[in-house]
Amino acid sequence: MENLLDLDSNPNHRAMVHADLGLLAGRFNGLEEMWLPRDTAELADLVDRLREGRDHFKRSVENNVPYAAHGHYCLGVLTLGENVLKPRETSYPEAADHLLRAHSRFGGQPKDYGEPLVARTSLYLGIAQAASADSAGTLSHAANVMVRALQKGAALPPYLVGVAVEGLDLGAGAEELTRFARALLSTGDDAALSALSKSAVAVERCEEVRDGLRQRAQRLGKSEAAARDLRACLAGYLKAGRTAEAQEVLDQLEALAARGIGSQEFEALLSRKRFQPAWEPDEASIAHARCLENRGRYLDALQVLQPLVHQFAGDGKLDDAEGLLDRVRSYGLSGDHYADAAARVGALVEQSQRYEQDRVPGDKKAVKPVKILFVGGDERQAKAGSAVRNQLRQRAPHIDVTFIHPGWSGNWSRHLDKVRRELPNHDAVVVMRFIRTELGKQVRKRCDKPWRSCWASGTQGMADSIVAAAEAANPAD
């Protein structure tokens, strides 16, 4: 072949021979053997091999002749690969120029070069154009090129997904980005979904990516991988304004965290307020504290709940402030840790009691039977049910209570259906606050009766909240 260079002055032949010599230097048998591998370690090896033939590739493209396309393709792939290993913004336009010249030749003669090589060249060209485009028109063209290449079977290495997505996001619009993501996901490549999940833009803009992550999480079951997928699609649902879906995902993450799966990441998500507007701040604080309690970190849980005690007290929600303070006391920590909150709540309760005593009493209504629906708790509260009823018989025999203990079952919708059926038959409702956040929200949302929160998990606290709900349903004049 080197003798041919000496004997043949035809620039077309010389371009082809230099490209072949470059391939041989890199231990390739032909253009059809050269593609960007899926793994970056293999990519580094490919780049090293292509560098061996770089001088020949450059000689191949010295003249603007048809067979220079071979050298342009090699240089385009090499430039893309080098940029992945060591990013340089200026390399994308260079890669796009080489690949465009190669694509013009290969695409015009698909039978000679083969569809796989033509599709790969199109895909690499689209990526380079997306990364270097200076207009929406170019980005739209890049998206079209990539989509067609993917539909023809070209494989996109995971490390280039983010490059393509970021490029398209600069001006192509959500429609182009969505078409690209849909085409990529249609290949059935699970790694493609994982790669797209790392792009906040793709997760936010593309419904298929969010839903794909959520569906995969369901298949993965109770695992750290499922929690990762759920956290990724949660961010996308929130940014896309899909509050209902975000609430459902938060509920799933909370259930996993209760089992110790992704609990630290869930706590970090809540502490950084990456849940709004799907959850209210007080709901997130309670969920956060419950995670900390499950891990025995009671002092940290106190730090989360103490501001909430002050908030309830300031808002005049003394029942909630007292109940939450009782929850904090159950941790067994020194009272010095929450002395200010306890003093404030105590003073407000005393003031409220003095106000009630100073009121001119009217004729009190006769105490009438009251039916209370109590929602929350697990098998521990179920066992406490008899003790609660015994205490009520001594303390307030006019109260009849029905318990619904949903526990931490993933299928809490059936418990919600039971609540709906029971509501018309009861006068007031008690909702435990330390239950699945979404279940509590849905119960309170549908409650058209007086209701009270129950912050405690023991017999006394449960009985107190039931009596408070009964008083709300049957107040004295």
Residues 337 and 299 sit within 8 Å (Cβ to Cβ): yes
- For 2-205, CATH number? 1.25.40
2-205 matches 370-473 in fold: no
For the stretch 221-264, pLDDT in tens is 999 999 999 999 999 999 989 999 999 999 999 999 988 999 99
| Domain ranges for the chain | 2-205, 305-359, 370-473
Q: Tell me 198's DSSP state.
A: T
- List the pLDDT tens digit at each of the 477 positions of the chain: 777 776 777 888 889 999 999 999 999 999 988 899 999 999 999 999 999 999 999 999 998 999 999 999 999 999 999 999 987 756 899 999 999 999 999 999 999 999 999 999 999 999 999 888 777 777 888 889 999 999 999 999 999 998 888 888 766 567 788 889 999 998 888 888 998 898 888 898 888 999 999 999 999 999 999 999 999 999 999 998 999 999 999 999 999 998 899 999 999 999 988 898 999 999 999 999 999 998 899 999 999 999 999 999 999 888 889 889 989 998 999 999 999 999 998 898 888 777 656 654 555 555 789 999 999 888 888 888 889 999 999 999 999 999 998 887 667 888 899 999 999 999 999 999 888 888 888 898 888 889 998 888 788 888 989 998 998 887 654
Q: How far apart are CA 66 and CA 10, in angstroms?
A: 12
| Entry pTM | 0.76
CATH of domain 370-473: 3.40.50.2300
Helix 207-220 / helix 190-197 crossing angle, nearest 10 deg? 120
| Half-sphere exposure (Cβ direction) of 446: Cα atoms closer than 13 Å | 16
Give the model's pLDDT for residue 356: 59
User: Which of 446, 456, 452, 447 has its CA nearest to residue 468?
Assistant: 452
40-71 pLDDT per residue, tens: 999 999 999 999 999 999 999 998 999 999 99
